């Protein structure tokens, strides 16, 4: 691989010319035409994360979200099946639901009262006599997207020919399984979400979840505010066992705290953090010591970030979801999670909410600093759009691991190279 | 639909001397925040005070829900360190803010002279300017203020709740405080 990354050699007539193994064109953040192509070639063809099953606890529950820029409703129908429906009445195009989440028997368009079931089927139209001979209700369901789930993660795709979800996830599945172990023996549920915007391209955020290199610099103020034990757990910058794997399909996993990659692997030698002493005491009133240890050891989530191309990360103790709005505007959700167990675990979840608030959210000790960095990337990328963005850190020390995954140090840009490889593949079908 | 008649106690006038002191404290706080005088801002709070920016517009259960900010004295102190130490890039390069706090509604004035607590609702409109752009932040505020027996210098905030009108929507990641 050339080490000359100063030249303007990520130019060319097609989108695929703009990505090389070690650099990408700055234009990837700023070109509105490329953004339009991304919406159709990536966000309307890939499996896009839309929900966690805990957000749809029973028949009739729903949430509103987006696949790319298209508004959708994710519902659990009467039979318990999860559906993703385009939020657009088949009559004149009005949205049929403007609530972020809730429970409903179906959806009625407020404009002419066409009504749809939870599975999207058109149930009724008022004053039907004008439609004699010109309307077949069964042809006019809300458009359904293919919807599949794995490990509680629900994905939808607009592409009827997309590969099965499990194939798309591939080797990322093992890491989803491991991520959900932070329930400490209980399933994982959504506890709440922070939503914030940043004025920059979606790929800047996609990169960030697999960017170990920025952590001690951008998050210095957060590091100063946490106790020594937590800061210690984050000492991955100089830990040679902290690595990033390219998992294929554009996915990658960054293991910051390898000892917490598989929370079931516990020889009992690691002491629980002293800050949780009170919690341990409270839980010990009803739970046995092994169960207490399991939930308390998982308070900070898992020790890795799993980056799934194109729109969701499973990061330490939360889901990070990105939604592209425009070439220079992105909405991010940080979804807090915790164990879905008996009431005595409420204390665990309250503590997890406080940990989440401390770093995440528009007023957290970490997120505003991340957002400032991303804002700077967007502004700076306007300078010399022919100059490449570098993603070559650690490419000389990248090696295949025992499973054949390209692997380098946790601070290396292996995960970004994985994502851009997939981007090139999906954008390259001219 | 007609609303059931509310049983409202006689309204507390904004000219009530206790309310006037509370309003003055809220205004003092607003100016300190606009000037990013965070150490002095922190000193306006009692040790047992909470400073909350909830997400759920209706909740009073700040403990059991996710908030944007839910600070006790320890978190507030760390937040002030973060805002002033110079290492947080978002704080170093924060937007300049100008806020107006008005539409005061005194909710209650309770307790004997010397231990008086005032609960005061108000509206806050904040304009933040950064990099050629103005952002607008609108919020309902509720302050619980404890008046000192020996004069206004000792008046302190026991609780401040900031309910953004768009708390459930996506807001910019901020480098300042509400």
Q: What percent of chain B has pLDDT over 90?
A: 86
Interface probe with A: pick from B77, B170, B171, most Cβ of A within 10 Å: B170
- Provide the pLDDT for residue B3: 58
Are the Cβ atoms of A365 and B66 closer than 8 angstroms? no
A198–B175 CB contact, under 8 Å: no
What is the pLDDT at residue A137? Answer: 95
User: What residue of B is the nearest CA neighbor of A379?
Assistant: B131
Report, as an integer, the average pLDDT of A19-40. 95
Q: Of B53, B66, B172, which has the smallest distance from its Cβ to A336's Cβ?
A: B66
B68/A225 Cβ within 8 A: no
**What would the mean pLDDT of B22-33 be, rounded to a whole number?**
98
Asked if B174 lies within 8 A of A220 by C-beta distance, the reply is: no
- pTM of the full predicted structure? 0.94
Q: In what order do the strands lie in the sheet with A106-108?
A: A106-108, A115-117, A122-124
pLDDT tens-digit series, residues A80-102: 999 999 999 999 999 999 999 99
Secondary structure (DSSP) of A36-85: HHHIIIIITTS-EEEEEGGGS-STTEEEEEEETTEEEEEEE-TTS-EEEE
Mean residue pLDDT of chain A comes to: 94
Residues B130-134 have a mean pLDDT of 94
Q: Output the pLDDT for position A233.
A: 67
Distance from CA of B79 to the nearest CA of A (A): 8
Predicted-complex ipTM score: 0.93
Q: Does the distance separating the beta carbons of B88 and A365 come in below 8 Å?
A: yes
Beta bridge partners of A145: A84
Query: Which of A218, A336, A361 has the CB atom closest to B68's CB atom?
Result: A361
Q: Which residues of B touch chain A, with CB atoms under 8 Å apart? A: 53, 55, 63-70, 75, 78-79, 81-82, 85, 87-91, 93, 131, 168-175, 177-178
Query: Measured between alpha carbons, how far is B141 from B148 in angstroms, rounded to an integer?
Result: 22
B151, A177 contact by CB (below 8 A)? no
Closest CA–CA distance from residue B175 to any residue of chain A (Å): 6
* B116 min Cα distance to partner chain A (Å): 31
For residue A217, the chain B residue with the least C-alpha distance is B87
Chain B residues whose beta carbon lies within 8 Å of the beta carbon of residue A348? none
pLDDT band at residue A236 under the 50/70/90 scheme: confident
Q: What is the mean pLDDT of residues B40-52?
A: 98
Q: How many CB pairs under 8 A join A and B?
A: 100
- Name every chain A residue with its beta carbon within 8 A of the beta carbon of B79: 365
Q: Is the pLDDT of residue A8 over 70?
A: no
The pLDDT tens digits for A101-117 are: 999 999 999 999 999 99
* Lookup: tokens for A59: 């028949």
How many other C-beta atoms are found inside a 10 Å radius of the C-beta of residue A35? 21
With beta carbons under 8 A apart, name residues in chain B contacting A368.
88, 90-91, 173-175
Binary contact (B90, A357; C-beta < 8 A): no
Nearest-angstrom CA–CA distance, A140 and B13: 59
| Predicted local distance difference test score (pLDDT) of residue A324 | 98
Place B24 in a pLDDT band, splitting at 50, 70 and 90.
very high
Give the whole-angstrom CA distance, residue A36 versus residue A34. 5
8 Å CB contact of B173 and A218: no
Question: For the residues A283-306, what does the mean pLDDT come to?
Answer: 96
């Amino acid at each position: 691989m050339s080490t000359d990354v100063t030249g303007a050699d990520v130019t060319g007539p097609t989108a695929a010319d703009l990505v090389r193994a070690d650099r990408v064109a700055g234009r990837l953040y700023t070109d509105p035409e490329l953004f339009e192509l991304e919406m159709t070639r990536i966000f309307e063809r890939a499996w896009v994360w839309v929900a966690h099953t805990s957000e749809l606890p029973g028949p009739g529950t729903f949430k509103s979200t987006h696949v790319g820029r298209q508004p959708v409703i994710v519902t659990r129908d009467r039979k318990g099946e999860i559906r993703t429906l385009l939020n657009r009445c088949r009559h004149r195009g009005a949205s049929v639901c403007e609530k972020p989440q809730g429970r409903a028997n179906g959806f009625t368009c407020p404009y002419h009262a066409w009504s749809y079931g939870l599975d999207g089927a058109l149930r009724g139209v008022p004053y039907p006599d004008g439609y004699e001979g010109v309307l077949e209700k069964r042809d006019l369901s809300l458009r359904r997207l293919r919807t599949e789930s794995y490990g509680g993660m629900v994905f939808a795709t607009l592409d009827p020919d997309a590969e099965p979800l499990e194939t798309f996830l591939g080797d990322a599945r093992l890491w989803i399984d491991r991520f959900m172990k932070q329930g400490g023996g209980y399933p994982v549920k959504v506890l709440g979400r922070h939503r914030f915007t940043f004025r920059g391209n979606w790929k800047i955020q996609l990169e960030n979840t697999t960017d170990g290199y920025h952590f001690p610099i951008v998050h210095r103020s957060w590091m100063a505010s946490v106790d020594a034990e937590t800061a210690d757990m984050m000492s991955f910058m100089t830990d040679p066992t902290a690595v990033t794997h390219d998992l294929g399909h554009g996915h990658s996993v960054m293991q910051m705290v390898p000892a917490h990659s598989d929370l079931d692997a516990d020889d009992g030698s690691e002491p629980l953090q002293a800050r949780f002493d009170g919690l341990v005491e409270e839980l010990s009133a009803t739970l046995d010591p092994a169960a207490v240890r399991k939930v308390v050891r998982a308070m900070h989530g898992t020790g890795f970030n799993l980056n799934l191309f194109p729109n969701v990360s499973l990061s330490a103790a939360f889901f990070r979801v990105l939604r592209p709005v425009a070439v220079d505007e992105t909405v991010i959700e940080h979804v807090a999670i915790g164990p879905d167990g008996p009431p005595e675990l409420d204390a665990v979840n309250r503590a997890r909410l406080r940990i989440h608030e401390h770093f995440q959210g528009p007023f957290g000790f970490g997120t505003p600093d991340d957002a400032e960095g991303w804002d700077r990337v967007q502004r700076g990328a306007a300078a010399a759009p022919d100059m490449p963005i570098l993603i070559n850190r650690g490419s000389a020390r990248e090696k295949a691991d025992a499973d054949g995954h390209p692997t380098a140090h946790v601070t290396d840009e292996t995960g970004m190279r994985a994502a851009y490889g997939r981007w090139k593949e999906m954008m390259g079908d001219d | 639909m007609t609303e059931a008649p509310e049983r409202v106690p006689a309204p507390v006038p904004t000219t009530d001397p206790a309310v006037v002191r509370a309003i003055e404290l809220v205004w003092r706080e607003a100016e300190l925040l606009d000037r990013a005088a965070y150490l002095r801002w922190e000193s306006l709070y009692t040790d047992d005070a909470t400073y909350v920016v909830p997400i759920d517009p209706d909740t009073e259960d700040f403990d059991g829900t996710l908030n944007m900010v839910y600070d006790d004295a320890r978190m507030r102190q760390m937040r002030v360190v973060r805002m002033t130490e110079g290492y947080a890039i978002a704080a170093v390069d924060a937007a300049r803010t100008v806020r107006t706090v008005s539409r005061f509604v005194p909710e209650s004035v309770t307790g004997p002279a010397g231990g008086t607590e005032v609960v005061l609702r108000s509206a806050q409109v904040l304009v933040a300017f950064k990099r050629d752009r103005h952002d607008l932040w609108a919020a309902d505020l509720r302050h619980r203020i404890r008046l000192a027996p020996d004069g206004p210098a000792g008046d302190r905030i026991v609780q401040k709740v900031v309910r953004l009108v768009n708390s459930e929507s996506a807001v910019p990641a901020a480098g300042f405080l509400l």
